[in-house]
Chain A
Amino acid sequence: MTSPLEQKKIRITKPSMVTANRTWDGAVIYRTAAKGWSTNLSDAAIVRTADEARELLAESIADDVGAIGAYIAPVEVKDTGKIEPGNLREQIRSEGLTIDLTVPA
C-alpha cells in the first residue's frame, strides 16, 4: 500500500527547502543538511528534484516531536550562494511582519 507521504504530489520548479514550526514555541525553522533544524534560512538544505524533496520532507515529518507542519517551499539561490525566500509568504515567515509590530520589539 502506498503511504500517504508517497501519495503526495511533489512538483519542484525551483530550488526548494523544507520548513516547519518548532513544536515547543512555534518558531519558524528550516531543515538542515545535517538532519537538524535551524531558525536561519541560510542553513536550509536545498533540494532541486522531486525525489530529493520527497526524501527531505519524509525525514522532516518523521521528527514529530521537534517540528510541526513541515512542507516544501521555494527559495531563490543567488549567484553568491545566498538563499532567499521564494515567495511572499516565505519572505514574511523568514523576515517577519511587513508592518511595524503594535508594540515595538
Chain B
Amino acid sequence: MYAYDELDRTLINERVSEFRDQVKRRLSGELTEDEFKMLRLQNGVYLQLHAYMFRVAIPYGTLSSKQLRQLAHVARRYDRGYGHFTTRQNIQYNWIKLAELPDALSDLAEVGIHAMQTSGNNTRNVTSDQWAGVAPGEIEDPRIWSELLRQYTTLHPEFSFLPRKFKFAITASEHDRAAIKIHDIGLRLIKNADGETGFEVLVGGGLGRTPFIGKTIKPFVHGRDLLSYVEAILRVYNQYGRRDNIYKARIKILVHELGIEKFAREVEEEWQQLRDSALTLDHADIEEIRSRFSYPAYEKLPHMPDELKQAAHDPLFERWRKNSVFPHKVQGYSIVTLSLKPVGGPPGDATADQMDAIADLADRYSFGEIRVGHEQNLALPHVAKRDLPVLWKALDKIGVATPNVNLVTDIIACPGLDYCSLANARSIPIAQELTRRFANHDTANLIGRLHINISGCINACGHHHVGHIGILGVEKNGEEFYQITIGGRADENAEMGTLIGPAVPYAEVADVIEDIVEAYLALRDRAEELFVDTVKRLGVEPFRERVYATR
C-alpha cells in the first residue's frame, strides 16, 4: 500500500472545498451549466440517462480495506447500494445527486480517495497490473512508477487541457494484464543489458471509433528519464493534436497520420531539450516513492499446507482453486481473484454489503489489501495457502467465488444503454443472457479461456475490439443490432478482432455466440488450443459460415 503524505491530503481536501463551492454556485444559478460542465467533469461527474454518474479513481488498482469500506459507505449513503468497477480500475456510482456530491467526495478524501482527472481532456487514472508487486517473475513493482506518474500528472497545468483524454498503463510482467497496447502511452518495465531499470515505451494505442494497437516509440528509456521522455511525448501531442475535430483528437490519430517514425523524431527532438533537466529522476526521488509503499511481513510457510491437502478432496473447492487462485512470488501464498461475474449478474458490479465483507476478508486473509483488475474483477493479493479453504467458503457466501475467471462467462461489459447517455444499445442484458447460456461450469471449462467483451457503442468502454469475441451494439432504424468480431486480444500479443459479418438483432446475439463457440469446439485441433488461437490458425471464414449459413 502507498501512504499519502501531507501534501497529498492537503491537495485532495482543497479540491473538495473548491468543488463544494462550485456546486453551491451551480445550484444557486451563479454558474451556468456551460460554465460548470468542465468543473464537474474534472471531478469525475458525468450526466447519464437517469442521473449523474460519479467516477472515482483507484490508482493502479490498489485499495486498502479501509478505502473499500469507504467506497461501500458512499454506495450506501449517497447511491443505491452498489458500485460498478470499470475497465480502467475506477469505480462508478450511477445514481448520485449533484447536491450530495461534495459530501461524498469529502467522505472519500478521509481515506485518500478522489475523483480528480477521471474525466476531461487530461491525463486519466494511471492503471497497472492488478498483480503488481506479487506476480512471480515480475521485474519490479510497477506501482512505484505508476505512483510517480500519478504525482507528476495530477493537476499538471500543461496537461490539464490536452486535445483529448490521455491514458497511461504500466506492466512489469512478461504477460500483460494491464492491456498496455491499447493505451495512449503503454509502459513495459524492463532491464537493459547492464541490469538497469527502464521502459519499453509504446504510444498511440486506443480503441473507440478508430482503434489502433500501440507502437513502440523507444525500445528502452532509462528509468531516470521516464518523466522527461513522457513529457516530450505529451508536448508533441499538445502541439500537434487535432483540437479541431473530437474524432481525430486522440494521440493515436496523430501517430497514425504522422507515422511512428516521424512522430518519434519529433519526440526525440523535444526530448533532447528536456532530458538532463529538472525532470531527471535521481535515485533518491525513486526511493522516496518506494519507501512510501508498505509490503506485508510474509511468514515462512510451506508450499503445500495440510489445510490445502485436506480441502483438495472437495471437488467444489478444487474447481474454484484451479480457476481463481494464482501463483504468488512468495512461497506459501497465493493471489485470489474474486469474480464479479455471477451468472445472471451485471459484470463488474459489487454491492455495498459485498464490499464491506470483502474488506473484512482482506483484513483477515490478505494484509488488508484489495486489487481491482481491468477485467472488472477484484483480487486479494496476499492470501496464505493454508487460508484458502476457509476464504473460499466466505467468498462463496457473499457471491464472489464463481469459478469462471478467464472463462466464457467472465464477460467485460460497459454499462450500455441501461445507464449510459452515449450508448446505442444495451450491454448488460446481453452479458446476463450469455452467462445463463454458459452457466454450466463443465461446459465453460471445456471451452477454456475465452474473453467476451461487450460495448454498447463505438466508444468501446467494454473493449470489444480486443475481446476474443467482441460484441458492439449499434442502432439500425431504432432497433438494437450487434456487430460481432472474433480473434481480438488485449495482452502482449494484442490484436483487433475481425468482423464476421452483418450485425445481428438483439434477440439473436446469444444464439450467434453459441454458434461461434460450437464451431470452435469442432474446429480446434486439440483441447489446449485456445479459441483465439483457433481463429488465428483458421481465420474468420469457418465461423462466418457457421453463423450466417442459416441466417
Contact = CB atoms under 8 A, between A and B. Distances in A.
Given A64-B32, A64-B33, A99 B47 contact: no
A99 B432 contact: yes
A21 B47 contact: yes
Nearest to B423: A89
Contacts of B428: 99
Interface string B32-71: 1100000000000001111110000000000000000000
Contact of B346 (A26, A28, A92, A102): A102
Contacts of A99: 346, 418, 428-429, 432
Which of A24, A98, A99, A102 has the most chain B CB atoms closer than 10 A to its own CB?
A102
A101 B51 CA distance: 15
A34 interface: no
B351 A87 contact: no
Nearest to B418: A97
A96 B419 CA distance: 9
B432 A23 contact: no
A89 B97 contact: no
B351 A103 contact: yes
B417 interface: yes
Interface in A22-76: 23-28, 64-65, 68-69
Contacts of A65: 27-29
B24 to A, nearest CB: 11
B418 A25 contact: no
Interface in B93-119: 95-99
Contacts of A103: 80-82, 351-352
Contact of B97 (A26, A88, A97, A98): A26
A92 B97 contact: no
Contact of B429 (A64, A89, A98, A102): A98
Interface in B418-437: 418-419, 426, 428-429, 432
B345 interface: yes
Given A69-B47, A88-B478, A103-B81, A24 B27 contact: yes
Given A89-B417, A103-B352, A64 B480 contact: no
Interface residues of A, number: 24
Contact of A92 (B95, B345, B349, B418): B418
B80 A88 contact: no
B305 to A, nearest CB: 36
B419 A97 contact: yes
B185 to A, nearest CB: 33
Given A65-B29, A97-B418, A102 B50 contact: no
Contacts of B51: 21, 25-27
Interface majority SS (helix, strand, loop, mixed), chain B: mixed
A96 B50 contact: yes
Tier of interface size on chain B: 35 or more
A23 B28 CA distance: 11
B242 interface: no
A102 B82 contact: yes
A105 interface: yes
A26 B26 contact: no
B50 A87 contact: no
Interface string B339-363: 0000001100111100000000000
A103 B246 CA distance: 37
A63 to B, nearest CB: 10
Contacts of B352: 103
Contacts of A87: 478
A26 B82 CA distance: 18
Contacts of A26: 47-48, 50-52, 95-98
B155 to A, nearest CB: 26
Nearest to B353: A103
A101 B80 contact: yes
Contacts of B29: 64-65
Contact of A68 (B33, B80, B81, B345): B33
Contact of A25 (B49, B98, B426): B98
A93 B419 CA distance: 9
B269 to A, nearest CB: 41
B75 to A, nearest CB: 8
Contacts of A98: 418, 426, 429
Contacts of A105: 80
Contacts of A89: 49, 417
A31 B97 CA distance: 20
Contacts of B478: 87-88
Nearest to B33: A68
Nearest to B51: A26
Interface string B462-481: 00000000000000001010
B480 A23 contact: no
A105 B50 CA distance: 15
Contacts of A24: 27, 97-99
Given A102-B351, A103-B352, A23 B27 contact: yes
B98 A23 contact: yes
B47 A102 contact: no
A23 B26 contact: yes
B345 A102 contact: yes
Contacts of A28: 49-50
Top 10 A-B pairs, shortest CB-CB distance: A103-B81, A26-B51, A25-B97, A102-B82, A65-B29, A26-B52, A102-B349, A24-B99, A97-B418, A68-B33
7 contacts: A25-B99, A28-B49, A88-B417, A98-B429, A101-B82, A102-B351, A103-B351
Interface of A: 21, 23-28, 64-65, 68-69, 87-89, 92-93, 96-99, 101-103, 105
Given A28-B49, A92-B49, 4 more contacts: A64-B29, A88-B417, A89-B417, A102-B82
